[in-house]
Structure 1
Amino acid sequence: MKAHHSSDPSFNLSLPKLAISLLLGLSLYIFLSFFSLKTLYSPPPPSDDHDPLLTRITLLESPPDPLPEPTGLPHIVFGIGAAASKWSRRKEFIKLWWRPNFTRGYIFVDRRIHLSDPDKFPTLKVSQDTSKFGYTYRRGSRSALRMTRIVSEMVRMGLEDVRWYVMGDDDTVFFPDNLVRVLQKYDHNKMYYIGSNSETHMQNINFAYDMAFGGGGFAISYPLALAIEKMQDGCIQRYTGLYGSDDRIHACMAELGVPLTKEPGFHQFDVHGNLFGLLTAHPVAPLVTLHHLDIVDPIFPYMSRLQALQRLKVSTNIDSESVMQQSICYDSARNWTVSVSWGYVVQIIRGYVTPREMQRPSRTFFNWYKRDEPSSFSFNTRPFSKHPCETPYIYYLSNAEINQNTNVITSEYVHYQMPHPRCWWKAENPEKFHKVQVFKKPTDPHKWDEAPRRDCCRVLSTEKKSTVVIDVGECREGESIQPQY
Structure 2
Amino acid sequence: MINQTQKHTQPLFTMKGNQKDPAEGWTSKKITLCFLALISFLYISYSLQFVSPSNLCRQQQSFTAHVQSQPKPKVSLPPIPQPITDTTPEKPQEAKTNISHIVFGIAASANMWGHRKNYIKLWWKADQMRGNVWLDQPVKMEPEHDHLLPPIKISSDTSKFEYKHPRGHQSAIRLSRIVSENFRLGMENVRWFVMGDDDTVFVTENLVRVLQKYDHNQFYYIGSSSESHLQNIYFSYNMAYGGGGIAISYPLAKALEKMQDRCIERYTGLYGSDDRLQACMAELGVPLTREKGFHQFDVYGSLFGLLAAHPVTPLVSLHHLDVFEPIFPNMDRVHALQRLQAPMKIDSAGLLQQSICYDKTRSWTVSVSWGYTIQIFRGIFSPREIEMPSRTFLNWYKKADYTTYEFNTHRFGRNPCQQPFVYYFSNVVYNKNVSHTATEYVRDRVPDPECHWKMANPSRIKKVQVYKAPNPHLWDKSPRRNCCRILPNTKKNGTMVIDVGACNEDEVVEVR
TM-score normalised by structure 2 residue count = 0.81
- The answer for unaligned runs of 5 or more in structure 1 is 1-62
Question: What SS does structure 2 have at the residue aligned with 1:451?
Answer: coil
2:366 corresponds to: 338
Amino acid at match of 2:232: N
Q: 1:345 to 1:371 in 2, by over 3 A?
A: farther
> How many Å separate the matches in 2 of 1:153 and 1:421?
55
Contact 1:391 1:420 in 2 (8 A): no
**Which entry has the higher C-alpha Rg, 1 or 2?**
2
Amino acid at match of 2:473: H
Question: What SS does structure 2 have at the residue aligned with 1:264?
Answer: coil
Contact 1:460 1:470 in 2 (8 A): yes
> How many Å separate the matches in 2 of 1:213 and 1:156?
23
* Cα deviation code 1:200-233 (max 9, x no counterpart): 0110011001100011011000000000000000
Aligned mate of 1:147, from 175, 182, 190: 175
Contact 2:98 2:208 in 1 (8 A): yes
1:79 corresponds to: 105
Amino acid at match of 2:252: L
1:350 corresponds to: 378
* Cα deviation code 1:271-321 (max 9, x no counterpart): 000000001110100000000011100000000001100000011010011
* Cα deviation code 1:422-448 (max 9, x no counterpart): 3222221111111000000001x3321
- CA apart distance, 1:366: 0.5
Question: What SS does structure 1 have at the residue aligned with 2:172?
Answer: helix
Within 5 Å, which residues of 2 pair with 1:162-311?
A: 162-311=190-339
Amino acid at match of 1:450: K
TM-score normalised by structure 1 residue count = 0.86
Aligned sequence identity (%): 59
Q: Does 1:417 align with 2:423?
A: no
Amino acid at match of 1:369: Y
- CA apart distance, 1:385: 1.1
Equivalent residues, number: 421
Contact 1:336 1:427 in 2 (8 A): no
> How many Å separate the matches in 1 of 2:146 and 2:440?
36
* Cα deviation code 1:367-416 (max 9, x no counterpart): 10124612110000000014121110000000011101110100000000
Q: 1:435 to 1:371 in 2, by over 3 A?
A: farther
> How many Å separate the matches in 2 of 1:101 and 1:187?
26
Q: Does 1:455 align with 2:509?
A: no
- CA apart distance, 1:64: 7.8
Q: Which moved more, 1:228-237 or 1:422-431?
A: 422-431
Contact 2:315 2:352 in 1 (8 A): yes
- CA apart distance, 1:132: 1.0
> How many Å separate the matches in 1 of 2:266 and 2:228?
28
* Cα deviation code 1:159-193 (max 9, x no counterpart): 10000000000001101000000000000000000
> How many Å separate the matches in 2 of 1:65 and 1:295?
49
2:56 corresponds to: none
Amino acid at match of 2:230: M
> How many Å separate the matches in 2 of 1:284 and 1:149?
33
2:130 corresponds to: 104
- CA apart distance, 1:88: 1.2
Q: Does 1:92 align with 2:118?
A: yes
Contact 1:460 1:469 in 2 (8 A): yes
Question: What SS does structure 2 have at the residue aligned with 1:411?
Answer: strand
Question: What SS does structure 1 have at the residue aligned with 2:368?
Answer: strand
Amino acid at match of 1:461: P
* Cα deviation code 1:78-99 (max 9, x no counterpart): 0000000011111100000000
> How many Å separate the matches in 2 of 1:355 and 1:386?
17
- CA apart distance, 1:483: 2.0
Contact 1:388 1:420 in 2 (8 A): no
Question: What SS does structure 1 have at the residue aligned with 2:147?
Answer: helix
Amino acid at match of 1:86: M
CA RMSD of aligned residues (A): 1.1
1:41 corresponds to: none
Contact 2:395 2:402 in 1 (8 A): no
> How many Å separate the matches in 1 of 2:127 and 2:106?
17
Amino acid at match of 1:455: N
Question: What SS does structure 2 have at the residue aligned with 1:215?
Answer: coil
- The answer for unaligned runs of 5 or more in structure 2 is 1-88
> How many Å separate the matches in 1 of 2:92 and 2:430?
34
Amino acid at match of 2:104: F
Q: 1:328 to 1:371 in 2, by over 3 A?
A: farther
> How many Å separate the matches in 1 of 2:198 and 2:393?
23
> How many Å separate the matches in 1 of 2:136 and 2:91?
47
Question: What SS does structure 1 have at the residue aligned with 2:210?
Answer: helix
Question: What SS does structure 2 have at the residue aligned with 1:398?
Answer: strand
Question: What SS does structure 1 have at the residue aligned with 2:417?
Answer: coil
> How many Å separate the matches in 2 of 1:422 and 1:240?
57
> How many Å separate the matches in 1 of 2:482 and 2:372?
15
